[in-house]
Amino acid sequence: MKERIEGARPMMDLMAKKIFSNTAITAQFIRDIFDLPVESVKILESTQIHEFYLDEFPYSTHIDVLAELDDHTQIIIEIQVALQIDFIKRLCLYLCEQISKNMNMHKIDGTQTYHLAKEMIPVYAIAITQERYFEDDRMYHSFSLRDDESYEELKVYFKGIKEKRNLMRMAFLELDKYDPTKIKQYKKVRWIEFFGNKPYTQNPEAILETADTMMNRTNWTEEERTMYDDRTRKLDGYYAHLEYVAEEKQLARMEGIEKGIEEGIEKGAIITIVGLIKDGILTIESGAKRLNMSESELTAYLL
C-alpha cells in the first residue's frame, strides 16, 4: 500500500516523540482512544530518545510518553515495533509503577492506607504496536476491570473528578491488522492509518493535517533531520540483518528437510532389502549390490 508521506516513519521514537510533543495532537489522540472529555493535556515525560541496541537488545520500546489531563488523569503511551512476548505484562508493570510513584509523593510517616488511597489518581495505558498481540482481526482492543457475569465496569470516584472512572484501562492499536474494509470506529482506526503511514480512508480533520505537517521532515531543523537519517540507517541495517538471519534459517531448514527425506528413503530401502533376504528371496550378495554397500555392512542390519 502506498505511503501517505513518502519515507516517513511515525513509529520511530524520534518522530513519534516529536508528534506527541504537540499537546493538541496528544489530547485528540487520547480523546479518540478512551472517549474521555479531555480539555487540555500536559506532557510530563516525552524527551528521552532511546538508544538503538543491535546486539545487546533485539527489541526496544521506541517511545515513553506520559501525559496528564486537565483532571489529573495520567495516560501512558507506548509504541512497540518488534514483537515481544512479555510486552503486555511490561505495559501493565509501567502502569502499576506509575501509580506507585504517584502515591510515594503523598507518603508521610504515620499516614494510614485509607488516607493515602484518597490521593490516588487514574492512570491508563495506550499501546500502539506494529505486530499482532491478539489472535482475532480486530484492530482496536480496550480492557478494563469488569464483573465476570454482568460485565459491569469497576468504576470508582477519584479525587477532583466528578464522575466515576474506570479503576484501570489499557487500549491497544495493532497496525498489522489494518484493513480498510473493516473500519467501524474510525475515530480510533484513523490513528492506525496515521501511525501506519497509510492513506486516510476519510477526509482528515485539521488535527491530523497538523500531525502530518509535523511528520514532514522538510519542516524539521537540520539537527533533527540528521538524527532521523542516522536512526533510519541503523534501523535499515538492523532489519536487513533480521532478514538475512531469517533467510539463513529457512535455507538450513530446507536443507534439513531434504537430508531427512534422503535418509528416510535410504532407511526404507534397507528395511525392504533386509526383509527380502530374510524371506529367502534375495541373497546377501545381491542385496548389498542393490544398496551399494558391502556385504558386511548389510549383515549388520540382519542381526
C-alpha cell at 33: 482512544
C-alpha distances (whole Å) from 189 to each of 11, 23, 153, 280 are 15, 20, 24, 74
- The vertex-119 CA angle with 117 and 124, nearest 5°, equals 90
Go through 169-199 and write b for each residue having 16 or more CB atoms within 10 A of its CB, e for each that does not. bbbbbbbebbeeeebeeeebbbbbbbbbbbe
Residues with Cβ within 8 Å of residue 241, at least 6 apart in sequence:
54
Domain extents in the chain: 13-220, 244-302
Per-residue model confidence (pLDDT) at position 59:
39
Task: Enumerate the β-bridge partners of residue 273.
Answer: none
Contact 119, 159 (CB under 8 A): yes
| Distance (Å, whole) CA 39 – CA 10 | 25
CA–CA distance, 86 with 56 (Å, rounded to integer) = 17
Q: Check residue 56 and give its pLDDT.
A: 41
∠ CA(135), CA(138), CA(142), 5° rounding? Answer: 95
Q: Which of 211, 199, 179 is nearest to 10 (CA)?
A: 211
Which grid cell is 120? 490516588
DSSP secondary structure letters along 147-166: -TTT--B-EE--TT-SS-EE
β-strand pairing of 41-45 with 74-80: unpaired
Per-residue pLDDT of the chain (303 residues; tens, 9 = 90+): 788 988 888 988 888 888 998 999 999 999 999 999 898 899 887 654 444 444 444 334 344 789 999 999 999 999 988 788 889 999 999 999 999 888 888 877 666 777 788 889 999 999 999 999 999 999 999 999 999 999 999 999 999 898 999 999 999 999 999 999 988 899 999 999 999 999 999 999 999 999 999 888 887 888 877 887 787 777 667 666 667 666 777 777 777 666 666 667 777 778 888 888 887 777 888 888 888 888 888 888 887
Q: Order of strands, edge to edge, in the sheet holding 61-69?
A: 41-45, 61-69, 74-80, 123-129, 169-174, 140-144
